[in-house]
Structure 1
Amino acid sequence: MSQSHRIAASALLAGLLLLAGLAQAQTPAPAGAAPAGPFTFFVTSKGAGNGADLGGLAGADAHCQKLAADAGAGDKAWRAYLSTQLESGKPAVNARERIGTGPWYNVKGALVARSVSHLHSDTVEEGRIGNALNWSTALTEKGEPVKRSGDTPNEHDILTGSQPDGRAFANDSADHTCKNYTSSAADGAVQLGHFDRTGRVPTALSWNSAHPSRGCGQANLISTGGAGLLYCFAAK
């Protein structure tokens, strides 16, 4: 092949590659593909280590903040999804009122809930559709799946201390928060949700209010089907 032919062939090849690159760049995203959102929700990859004694709400928030910072998202204000009960004159705190307004996305950008109302199915329509919090979206801050029902060990219990609407057990004298997350005793209880939304009874399908624990110690939480894990939401 002559030098002029080689030059022409090279120019033709370069032109074809350029056209291919332009075509690829202009190809639209597949229909129905959802854009990824900012990282604003995760399930903790580990518990605080002392059962349901988290050091109160402040300690729980600090746990969320540290894990988020370790994952490179410490610039946001992270809050643990926990309600507290009336105690010593201090008013109850509702989990739904301390996590911001949404929307919330997991570490991979998948939508979990658009708003507080959507998260808790406040309207009939939202209840019919439901939020997107489930075993496939409730990932840790590392982007890893949490062990669910059927795995060994089962760690699908998530501490919430909340009713299904995200509010505290305000008119109930029973302990639903392990003394507002300051107890690791064998007695007491904390309300738990199932991130995988599975179980043998209808309430077990609740992500935030499936059943109480069998105690407040780490061993108690493990025996119930958990590891002291929390939901963490970016409030802002």
Structure 2
Amino acid sequence: MRRKLVYLVSTTTAAIALAACSGMMGSPPQSKMSFFVTSANPGKGADFGGLAGADRYCQSLAASAGAGGRTWRAYLSDSAMAGSPAVNARDRIGKGPWVNAKGEQIASGVDDLHGANNKLNKQTALTEKGAIISGRGDPVNLHDILTGSTDDGRAISDGKDNTCGNWTKSGEGSAIVGHHDRIGLNESPPMKSWNASHPTRGCSMDALKSTGGGGLLYCFAQN
């Protein structure tokens, strides 16, 4: 009887330990991150293969950081062209709130994000890895973030190419960018805008770098 009792205790303890180990070896816990700036460009400048391709890129980087369980969208607008309707960046990103890789809230919702009191700046606009992106005044300036949008997050309807051909060009063209560090050549509001500071000189990586960028995107969790 005593041997049977010892055996039962031993097997039960082993089973509990095995279950614990199995849980530890399962899928890693999902990150609570719901906003980030891409840590790199996939290699073709402003050509992401359209909005769908940009969304896939955000999704893949989020997955690499343990946040792939959410639906991710690139903060990009599309211009109305060739029969295709305009698409507003603000309408693609869900309702919020959004937090960075360190759990710091960027904005409570869409209106807050596009208002004067959002918390998006160089210290909070972190990559999916939780790193700070260099800005104006650093040895390499990467503060230009592609958006193709107005300051309230909508598509621009002035007849110009503001989206590098709706994110399909890597040569000639132009796109509107914002400054993640909220710093410009002067202190006027447009240059300090996180999403609508100025147009680029082209759509290639060299052209994007020439104005202080690296072809980076803002990514938001839609859910």
TM-score scaled to structure 1, two decimals? Answer: 0.79
Distance 1:83 1:67 in 2: 20
- For 2:125 and 2:47, the matched residues in 1 are separated by 23
SS in 2 for 1:57: helix
Query: Which moved further from structure 2: 149-158 or 74-83?
Result: 149-158
Name the Cα RMSD after superposition. Answer: 1.0
- Cα shift readout 1:160-187 (whole Å, capped 9, x = no counterpart): 00000100002x11100000000011x2
3-state SS of the aligned residue for 1:86?
coil
Q: Does the aligned pair in 1 maintain the 2:75–2:93 contact within 8 Å?
A: yes
Return the offset for 1:38.
2.9
Aligned-partner SS, 2:36: strand
Say which of 120, 124, 136 aligns to 1:149. 136
- The counterpart of 1:195, out of the listed 180, 204, 212, is 180
For residue 208 of structure 2, give the secondary structure of its aligned residue in structure 1: helix
Which residue in 2 is equivalent to 1:219?
206
Query: What CA distance in whole angstroms lies between the structure 2 residues aligned with 1:141 and 1:220?
Result: 25
Report the equivalent of 1:183.
Answer: 169
Q: How far 1:87 moved relative to its partner? A: 1.3
| Unmatched segments (≥5 aa) in structure 2 | 1-30
Whose radius of gyration is greater, 1 or 2?
1
Displacement, 1:74?
0.4
Residues 1:133 and 2:127 are matched in the alignment: no
What secondary structure sits across from 1:49 in the alignment? coil
1:209 corresponds to 2:196:
yes
**Could you say which residue in structure 2 is the equivalent of 1:161?**
148
How far apart, CA to CA, are the structure 2 residues paired with 1:200 and 1:44? 24
- Match of 2:206, SS state, is helix
Residue 99 of structure 1 pairs with residue 129 of structure 2: no
Q: Select 2:33's aligned residue among 31, 39, 42.
A: 39
Shift of 1:200: 2.4
Residue segments in structure 1 that go unaligned for 5+ positions in a row: 1-36, 122-126
How far off is 1:93 after superposition? 0.2
Distance 2:191 2:88 in 1: 21
| Partner deviation per Cα, 1:216-236 (whole Å, 9 max, x = no partner) | 111100111000000000001
Q: Deviations over 1:24-75 (max 9, x none)?
A: xxxxxxxxxxxxx931000000012111011000110011000000001100
Letter in 1 for 2:179: H
Structure 2 residue identity aligned to 1:160 = T
Q: Provide the residue aligned with 1:33 in structure 2.
A: none
Shift of 1:199: 1.1
- SS of structure 2 residue aligned to 1:198: coil
Cα distance between partner residues in 2 of 1:214 and 1:51: 12
Asked if 1 retains the 8 angstrom alpha-carbon contact of 2:48 and 2:167, the reply is: yes
Q: Percent identity?
A: 57
C-alpha offsets along residues 116-136 of structure 1, whole Å, 9 cap, x if unaligned? 000011xxxxx3xx1000001
Q: Counterpart of 2:82?
A: 88
Cα separation, 1, equivalents of 2:81 and 2:184:
32
CA distance in 2, matches of 1:92, 1:48: 25
**Contact 2:32/2:67 (8 A) holds in 1:** no
Q: How many residues align?
A: 191
**Structure-2-length-normalised TM-score:** 0.84
